């Protein structure tokens, strides 16, 4: 799998996905009611399209917070494992330090019992740091070989224990910070969704019907654009096959050279993509749940990660990282299995299935489904990435 992301050429930003019709219609109309109730007399009432956009923004903000939550959760999990490992190491090293201290203590006791002129070994037990020990070189010179070996072991254990304790302290501080980020992101998501639920509770049947009609027109336009992309891709494929026949090659050989931006279309990618798509299709109908990675529910990046994992490809957890986990290709040359990313802040992703369509987990209140990649208009698609 390519480890870099090629820059997009001008003109490759094209349309994208959006949210489910009925829920969006509901939120839109309620937002309108709320604004109208709070408006002063004579103030212009916003159009349904304007309110719909505001509601869409609310869900995108929740989705952005979800990806931040996912990143913080992943970081917190890794940091907690590191802290646990360090604390276990500190415990083991502390035991070794205690054993080394006991050995030095036995030498000190022996010196005391025999009436030695100076309890050399005991001097080291009073030292607080390894440097204190090294500063007493005249004492070290009077020790026997076994005593020196015991001191060396004690110094080593003390040094390593102090080092690991410092690492554990720093890791605990980092863990506290990531837990704070996790808490903040979670609160943001919950706040956005609570606002949505409040709006939905004020929905009227009349406004729902009006906004449903708007959504239907948007879906029809998105379907038209998907069909146009499918036609263009079919023409490109036919041209590649004709060129391959004239050149004595195969369409598989020539299918990778449509653009300098496009990576080779080898058969191994097709095999992996089929597995990823089969998994994604099997999840259709399962609910979107923010932060979920399956098997009963998913958020957008959780679904794409799980789909490609089924194909033996490990993707990062968040959209922010997945967008860099492959090679960028033009939308016109998107292939089944490619990842479709949306919005300037890269907060949504779906799996391309061909013919301008994708499988994705849209947003809270919806289910995994097939949808046109043009659901949210021509400007929403951020990029297409081939992950393997």
Burial of 119 from C-beta contacts in 10 A (0-12 / 13-18 / 19+): middle
The continuous run of DSSP H or E covering 193 comes out as: helix 145-200
DSSP string, 146-159: HHHHHHHHHHHHHH
- Which is the catalytic residue, given 83, 151, 155, 300? 300
- Which is the catalytic residue, given 18, 192, 240, 360? 360
- Which is the catalytic residue, given 348, 363, 382, 386? 348
Q: Are 191 and 53 in contact (CB under 8 A)?
A: no
Instruction: Determine the Cα angle at 102 with ends 86 and 143, to 5°.
Output: 115
- Give the span between the Cα atoms of 271 and 311, in whole angstroms: 8
Say which residues have a Cβ less than 8 Å from residue 388's Cβ, sequence separation at least 6: 1, 268, 269, 272, 273, 308, 311, 313, 326, 337
Token representation of residue 360: 């994705």
Coil, strand or helix at 293: strand
Provide Rg for the chain, Cα atoms.
32
CA atoms 187, 190, 192, 197: torsion sign: negative
Backbone region of residue 316 per phi and psi (left: phi > 0; alpha: psi in -120 to 50; beta: other values)? beta
CB atoms within 10 A of CB 370: 14
End-to-end CA distance of the chain: 4
**Does residue 321 have an active-site annotation?**
no
**Does residue 348 have an active-site annotation?**
yes
**Does residue 94 have an active-site annotation?**
no
* Residues designated as active site: 300, 348, 360
């Amino acid at each position: 799998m390519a480890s870099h992301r090629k820059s997009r050429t001008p003109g490759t930003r094209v349309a994208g996905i959006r949210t489910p019709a009925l829920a969006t219609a509901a939120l839109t109309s309620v937002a309108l009611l709320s604004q109208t109730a709070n408006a002063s007399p004579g103030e212009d009432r916003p159009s349904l399209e304007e309110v719909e956009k505001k509601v869409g923004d609310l869900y995108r903000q929740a989705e952005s917070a979800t990806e931040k939550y996912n990143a913080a959760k992943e970081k917190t999990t890794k940091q907690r494992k590191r802290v646990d490992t360090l604390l276990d190491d500190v415990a083991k090293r502390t035991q070794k330090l205690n054993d080394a201290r006991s050995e030095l203590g036995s030498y000190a006791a022996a010196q005391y019992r025999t009436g030695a002129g100076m309890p050399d070994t005991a001097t080291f037990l009073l030292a607080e740091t390894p440097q204190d020990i090294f500063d007493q070189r005249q004492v070290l010179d009077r020790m026997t070989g076994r005593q020196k070996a015991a001191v060396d072991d004690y110094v080593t254990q003390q040094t390593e224990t102090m080092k690991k304790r410092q690492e554990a302290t720093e890791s605990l501080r980092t863990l506290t910070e990531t837990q704070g980020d996790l808490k903040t992101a979670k609160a943001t998501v919950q706040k956005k969704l609570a606002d949505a639920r409040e709006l939905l509770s004020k929905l009227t049947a009349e406004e729902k019907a009006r906004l449903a009609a708007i959504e239907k027109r948007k879906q029809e336009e998105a379907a038209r654009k998907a069909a146009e992309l499918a036609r263009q891709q079919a023409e490109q494929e036919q041209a590649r096959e004709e060129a391959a026949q004239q050149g004595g090659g195969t369409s598989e050989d020539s299918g990778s050279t449509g653009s300098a931006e496009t990576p080779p279309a080898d058969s191994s990618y097709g095999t992996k993509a089929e597995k990823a798509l089969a998994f994604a299709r099997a999840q259709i109908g399962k609910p979107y749940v923010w932060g979920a990675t399956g098997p009963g529910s998913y958020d957008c990046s959780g679904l794409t990660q799980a789909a490609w994992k089924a194909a033996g490809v490990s993707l990062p957890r968040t959209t922010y990282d997945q967008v860099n986990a492959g090679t960028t290709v033009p939308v016109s040359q998107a292939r089944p299995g490619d990842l479709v990313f949306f919005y300037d802040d890269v907060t949504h992703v779906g799996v391309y299935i061909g013919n301008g369509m994708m499988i994705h987990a849209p947003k809270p209140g919806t289910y995994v489904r097939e949808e046109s990649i043009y659901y949210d208009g021509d400007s929403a698609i951020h990029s297409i990435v081939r992950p393997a």
